[in-house]
Structure 1
Amino acid sequence: MCGPALPLCLLLFIGGTHGKVTAPANLKAEVGRPLLLTCNITTTSRDTVHQVRWLNKQDKVLLAYEQSTPLRISHQDPNVQLTTSNKDASYITIKRVRPDDEGCYRCVFDVFPSGHQEARTCVSVTGKVRQEGNKTAVSGKSTTLSCWYSLPERVQQVLWRKTAEQGDTTTVASHARHGHHSVAEQFEGRVDLSRTLGDTQLTVQQVRTEDEACYTCEFHTYPDGTKSATTCLSVYVLPKPEVSHVASSSGFTEANCTAQSRPAADITWDVGGENKTLGPPVSSSYDQGDGTTIVTSTLLFQSGLLSEHSIKCIVHHPGLEKPLTAFVNTNMGSAMVILLSVCGVAAILLLCLCVCLCKCFICTDD
């Protein structure tokens, strides 16, 4: 078909079958995370890939290896590892992306007899927001919420928002690179915002139950755009148990243990020794409208227990390191023994004092 032009046809055929390398044109990478770079090559049956090289934006070789058996690596950057290699593909992983890893990377296949073939991938590096996670604060005390952005030099402004359980969102405070600093009027005097950009701390003084909400720290950056993270704050009101008891003429006593807290407390009893209670305790709870709940536990027992054992009300709450204990009574038998012992010691001391005075002043002969 080509006739006299056969040599030209063969040249065009050979030129059209050179290897072709494909790679993603653009990728986004997050600081501190691994990044996978991929290249694929299409070759003819006549082509043989002898060597693969990966170069960074400064044309510095990150990884170079020969397609032999076994594979022979001639150069490898400490932060780069070869993930996959075969005659049609080469994948490498940057183990931990750094801010200066932003730029274009080239994968070069040295092919015989076609010559080297290459493709390019350009990587843009973005930062990452880190925060402490959800927190719990105790009513009346202070708490601090913290966020960090891994590329602080890109942050132009930091802004904190509060989202209540009902879904209402309000701006709490903000700080900008050029010195603008503000705290919303409703939070003035109780909320402090650090004058920093890469790491930001929001401190709430004298925490109230209405401070329970989810708080979002927003980093307004260039060129990454807005990056944010959310942490939720739970507010505890610790219980202060109160106990009382009333005896009846029928020989039974009713003891009540009451605790107001947020969230609701769990109350148990310890009567010690032989169980002389009249059934299990009965609990009731009442929401107070301010987020707290009053829990009352009632225990009915034989009145003789008051003189035989110490009866304890034990209050459990997630905000306490250990349960609180309130006594309905003290062990009267033990108290009587202690009282008699103290009186006996006092009588002996008084007798000794009398003897000493007698010898010194009264019973001495002139």
Structure 2
Amino acid sequence: MDQSLSRLAEHTAKMMVPSLLFSCIWAFASGYVQVMHRKVQSVRAGGNVTFACQSVTKEDVLQVTWQKEMDGAEDNIATYSMMNGQKIAKGYIGHVSFAHRELRASAISLHGVTLQDEGCYKCIFNTFPSGALTGRMCLKVYAISDPKVEAKLIPSPDKAEGSEKVVGMSCSATGKPAPKITWHLPSILQQKPKEYHIQLGNQTVAVISNFTHTYSKVLQEYPITCEIQHPSLNVTLVLPMDSLVQGPDSRDSSVAPAIVIAVGVLVPLASFLLLDCLLHCCLRHLRGPERNPVWPCWVGLPFPRLLLGSPPPVTGLDARTQLCSATPGQDASCTAQAGPALERDKGNSPQPASWVAAFWEGET
């Protein structure tokens, strides 16, 4: 009988353990499934994202509060209640709006998401009588720039005519997290590209992958592609070889027409300027005093003398130098005009009219 009792107790214990374990799991889970929400969301920088929470309890909800975790603290974003309606914190006006307003179901939207919006958010249902029921979700913000792929001829340090031309091929992209770059090359090209990672100040990383190869027809006969992988973008770009279609001498051939045009314009212009200068010099020579009997000149009269009267002596440059008309072979005659000194003297002391109009004599 003792054995039967022990077997019964053992059997009962085996039956109770699973049921007890199930009860514990249900009790543990029921405390966290009171708010339904998505735990992790992602969005590309510049886009919009919506957080939604729903309370599954039957208790009365008095208010819904949205918060963002900031360095261990919580920053209030928005609240909604039947008494006060919706309210959005000052720092989030224009950036956050309510997408759904109910006490048991609430949703907010973030517009024009930036890298600073990355983090975790909380929706809190203030219920009665249990108190606050919280749902927590996190946001990942991705950023990616427009990828670039290019091929160009690299000038060779060796200027010899037989030197080989080298083509540089590059593929680059900037993003958060760092994008992954993969080259798809033809089997005939056994190249190992070099990759560089540059950490930028806005939490993004610039990735540059490039390699060089001697110019050959292989680069145009076989397509070369660059694949960029990123959480918010997956794209494959074909390396453009249009600039290399004319061969390695395409750059020299494009420079030659420019030189021809420059020479064709500058040489006639220089000739015209030289001809104009020579013509101007010849005209100046032909207009000399030998070809022009009457020409303006400045004549100095070192020995002034009045023919009529005896006026006071006149001094000053204006009294000794006059503009005359000179004719070759004849004496220069100058009409005397009262200088500043005469005008002042005439105003202060009246003089006879006989010496006011006078002539100066002198050697030309």
Structure 1 alignment gaps of length 5 or more:
1-82, 98-123, 334-366
Question: 1:171 and 2:76 equivalent?
Answer: yes
Deviations along 1:314-348, one digit per CA (max 9) or x if unpaired, are 1111223x433242436989xxxxxxxxxxxxxxx
Q: TM-score, normalised by structure 1?
A: 0.53
In the alignment, the residues of structure 2 paired with residue 216 and residue 299 of structure 1 have an alpha-carbon distance, to the nearest angstrom, of 48
Aligned CA distance change for structure 1 residues 167 and 299 (closer, same or farther; 3 Å): farther
Which structure carries more strand by proportion? 1
* Matching residue within 293, 300, 310 for 2:223: 310
Question: 1:319 and 2:319 equivalent?
Answer: no
Which residue does 1:286 correspond to in 2? 198
CA drift of 1:251 comes to 3.0
* Matching residue within 142, 149, 152 for 1:243: 149
Alignment of 1:1-366 (within 5 A): 128-151=34-57, 153-164=59-70, 166-193=71-98, 194-248=100-154, 249=156, 250-277=164-191, 280-304=192-216, 305-320=218-233, 322-329=234-241
**Is residue 178–residue 206 contact of structure 2 (8 Å, CA) maintained in 1?**
yes
Deviations along 1:300-327, one digit per CA (max 9) or x if unpaired, are 223223222222111111223x433242
In the alignment, the residues of structure 2 paired with residue 153 and residue 328 of structure 1 have an alpha-carbon distance, to the nearest angstrom, of 64
Aligned CA distance change for structure 1 residues 195 and 237 (closer, same or farther; 3 Å): same
Q: Secondary structure at the match of 1:240?
A: coil
Q: TM-score, normalised by structure 2?
A: 0.53
Rg larger in structure: 2
Q: Secondary structure at the match of 2:101?
A: coil
Amino acid at match of 2:230: H
In the alignment, the residues of structure 1 paired with residue 236 and residue 102 of structure 2 have an alpha-carbon distance, to the nearest angstrom, of 41
**Is residue 59–residue 129 contact of structure 2 (8 Å, CA) maintained in 1?**
no
**Is residue 311–residue 329 contact of structure 1 (8 Å, CA) maintained in 2?**
no
In the alignment, the residues of structure 2 paired with residue 262 and residue 125 of structure 1 have an alpha-carbon distance, to the nearest angstrom, of 36
In the alignment, the residues of structure 2 paired with residue 126 and residue 213 of structure 1 have an alpha-carbon distance, to the nearest angstrom, of 21
In the alignment, the residues of structure 1 paired with residue 44 and residue 58 of structure 2 have an alpha-carbon distance, to the nearest angstrom, of 32
CA drift of 1:153 comes to 4.7
Q: Secondary structure at the match of 1:323?
A: strand
Identity %: 26
CA drift of 1:262 comes to 1.3
CA drift of 1:239 comes to 3.6
Which structure carries more helix by proportion? 2
Deviations along 1:37-84, one digit per CA (max 9) or x if unpaired, are xxxxxxxxxxxxxxxxxxxxxxxxxxxxxxxxxxxxxxxxxxxxxx75
CA drift of 1:204 comes to 0.6
Q: Secondary structure at the match of 1:306?
A: helix
Aligned CA distance change for structure 1 residues 285 and 268 (closer, same or farther; 3 Å): same
CA drift of 1:257 comes to 1.1
Structure 2 alignment gaps of length 5 or more:
1-14, 157-163, 246-364
In the alignment, the residues of structure 2 paired with residue 190 and residue 198 of structure 1 have an alpha-carbon distance, to the nearest angstrom, of 24
**Is residue 223–residue 238 contact of structure 2 (8 Å, CA) maintained in 1?**
no
Amino acid at match of 2:81: A
Decide which moves more: 262-271 or 322-331: 322-331
Aligned CA distance change for structure 1 residues 162 and 326 (closer, same or farther; 3 Å): farther
CA drift of 1:272 comes to 2.1
Total equivalences in the alignment: 222
**Is residue 130–residue 148 contact of structure 1 (8 Å, CA) maintained in 2?**
yes
